Amino acid sequence: MADYDLVVRGGEVATGFGTARCDIGIRDGRIAALAERITDAAATLEAGGLLVLPGGIDSHCHIEEPARGGYVGTVGEPVVTVSEESFVTASTSAFAGGTTSVVCFVPQWKGEGLLPRLADYERRAARGMLDYSFHQIITDPTEAVLEREVPQIVAKGIRSLKVFLTYEPLHLSDEDYIKVLVAARRNGCLVTVHCENYAAIKWRTERLIAAGMSAPKYHAWSRPSVVEREATHRAIALAELVDQPIQVFHVSCEEAAEEIARARHRGLKVWGETCPQYLTLTAEDMDRPGFEGAAFMCSPSPRSREEHARVWEMIRRGTLDIVSSDHCGFSMAGDKGKAVSGRDAPFRDIPNGIPGLAARLPILFSEGVSKGRISLDDFVRLTATNPARLMGLAPRKGLIAVGADADLALWDPAKKVTISNRLMQHAIDYTPYEGLEVTGWPVATVRRGAVVMRDGVVQAEPGTGRFLPRGPYEMVRPRGVLANGFDAAPAG
């Protein structure tokens, strides 16, 4: 019998501290050896000098998530949206883009507890091929939820609670947000926060629509940077009050990132995530004829080219330390997705969110590494190592090291590709990145030692994805200092 099940031969392996030309020996789904030459393997994946990166970890993805009031601003009876992306189609898309693990969202509907919907979501997720974990959304923090159910979900290895400071009917009052922070602190969870000011957006939305300004482009007008900055400040201040670590999701602008930078400077445990849409799309994209602009509608709204440069700077400084996709599966055609309230609906009633699971790594690599804005080490940290640490998945995930799961992306840094919806291999009928030219593309993906994508062809058996019970988060501090958040060691 061979020593190894698979050897990845002759790649430039991204260690997080530069690259090393070596072979990777894989046994039982894990990396068993890194050596100059490994010969005794049952199968070989020839890397031929290409980069070998840790498989991407996308710690902010909405997949097959039944949402009541699904990310719309509606004030009336909320619509129910189900992302058109299943865990099977999302897995295909993720593998096509070099991503091997996701953290997605278990919904809570107001008036309900957590556990029945968690059981439903566990069934959905188990059908996919990706490895996965969950954030638990809290929209109704009753005593029963916080006192009885949160400890139960934490015992299952779900170590982050997600709250929204906007959206109807998902948003929490300050009082309820504090209650969630307290419960998280008691149970050793991270809190992840959507930071926009609900009342301010509602006030502007009502006036815009009353004035007949209801086309998709007015979505951006309804939520300028100040509403994000204010909510980011408040989210951090209240977390400081409770002494509870938080991650600010999808930071779109310098103003909000500065709030995070100030907090970190003062030693607070705050992390910032941004997404490719805030580095490539602009509010002008929503100014397309008719309903077309809805294809770019997400919250916070895409901003401007000048803002992209400022967000890059915040990435370079380490203030924004994770890049996720915030993948959301609403198609443009049909009556389930973006058009759930009709193609003439005011922007308020169009579901927010755009797909980006497969596009995340190529866009960040191309716009970041290929264009010289960040180093390869930065790329690895932003897309794999930092999410693994913050989500309590390290050292099993997020790095190429002996003992880690053999999750790899074989990457051609010189390959030029024009992004198209076909290449995304998702169940959604468009990509907001159509026509974007990128340099750098995944040519193979390995998940726990199995080659699940080769030259764009995904082959993986549905139901082979594994739930990842998570340990406590690790704190990746500014300037790279690392400390454990809690006494317990991260889960293996």
Give 101 or 299: the residue with its C-beta nearer to ligand URP. 299
How far apart CA 420 and CA 470 sit, in angstroms, is 35
Q: Least CB distance from residue 209 to ligand URP, whole Å?
A: 19
Half-sphere exposure of 343 (CA within 13 A, CB side): 9
Please state, in angstroms and rounded to a whole number, the distance separating the CA atoms of residues 125 and 131. 9
Q: What does the chain come to in residues?
A: 492
> Which residues make up the interface to ligand URP (CB under 6 A)?
62, 71, 194, 250, 298-299, 326, 328, 352-353
DSSP, collapsed to helix, strand or coil, labels residue 426 as coil
Instruction: Convert 402-415 to b/e letters by CB count within 10 Å (16 or more is b).
Output: eebbbbbbbbbbee
Of Zn ion, ligand URP, none, which one does residue 90 interact with (CB within 5 to 8 Å by kind)?
none
Q: Nearest-CA neighbor of 461 among 133, 128, 132?
A: 128
- By CB under 5 A, the residues from 323 to 342 that bind Zn ion are 326
Tell me the number of residues near Zn ion by CB under 5 A: 2
**Main-chain phi, psi angles of 67, to 5 degrees:** -120, 125
**Backbone CA torsion sign across 253, 256, 260, 265:** positive
Q: Are 397 and 492 in contact (CB under 8 A)?
A: no
Q: Which is nearer to ligand URP, 149 or 196 (CB)?
A: 196
Of the two residues 165 and 452, which places its CB atom closer to ligand URP in the complex?
165
Closer residue to ligand URP (CB): 357 or 453: 357
Count of beta carbons in the 10 Å neighbourhood of residue 466: 18
Other beta carbons within 10 Å of 16:
17
Strands 99-106 and 327-328: unpaired
298 is in the binding site of which of ligand URP, Zn ion, none (Cβ under 5 to 8 A by kind)?
ligand URP
CB of 360 to ligand URP, least distance (A): 14
Q: Choosing among ligand URP, Zn ion, none, which partner's interface includes residue 71 (Cβ < 5 to 8 Å by kind)?
A: ligand URP
Q: Closest separation between CB of residue 56 and Zn ion, Å?
A: 17
45 binds, among Zn ion, ligand URP, none (CB under 5 to 8 A by kind): none
Q: Which is nearer to ligand URP, 194 or 338 (CB)?
A: 194
Question: Using CA atoms, how far apart are residues 178 and 184, in angstroms rounded to an integer?
Answer: 10
Which CB, 6 or 220, lies closer to Zn ion? 220
Cα 185–390–465 angle (5° rounding)? 110
80-81 and 67-68: which strand pairing?
A: antiparallel
Nearer to ligand URP, 233 or 250 (CB): 250
What is the DSSP-derived secondary structure letter of residue 260?
Answer: H
Nearest-angstrom CA–CA distance, 181 and 138:
11
**Which amino acid, residue 278?**
Y
CB of 307 or CB of 326, closer to Zn ion? 326
Q: Please report how close the Cβ of residue 72 comes to Zn ion at its closest, in angstroms.
A: 12
SS3 call for 78: coil
What gap in Å lies between CA 269 and CA 246, rounded to an integer? 7
Considering the complex, state which of residue 299 and residue 385 has its C-beta at the smaller distance from ligand URP. 299
Residue span binding Zn ion (CB under 5 A) among the ranges 73-81, 221-229, 322-330, 436-444: 322-330
Which of Zn ion, ligand URP, none does 352 bind, CB closer than 5 to 8 A by kind? ligand URP
Distance in Å, CB of 326 to Zn ion, minimum: 4
Q: Residue 377 Cβ, how far from ligand URP at the closest point, in Å?
A: 28
CB of 105 to ligand URP, least distance (A): 8
Judged by beta carbon, residue 139 or residue 299, the one nearer ligand URP is: 299
Which of Zn ion, ligand URP, none does 132 bind, CB closer than 5 to 8 A by kind? Answer: none
> Interface mask (CB under 5 A) for Zn ion, residues 181-210, using x and -?
-------------x----------------
Rounded least distance, CB 486 to ligand URP, Å: 26
The 146-185 contact track toward Zn ion, x by CB under 5 A, reads: ----------------------------------------
Smallest gap from residue 250 Cβ to Zn ion (A): 6
Least separation in angstroms between residue 480's CB and ligand URP is 28
**In whole angstroms, what is the distance from residue 473 CA to residue 345 CA?**
41
Cβ contacts of 159 within 8 Å, gap of 6 or more: 188, 189, 190, 391, 392, 470, 471, 472, 473
Instruction: Please give the residue ranges that form the binding site for Zn ion (CB under 5 A).
Output: 194, 326
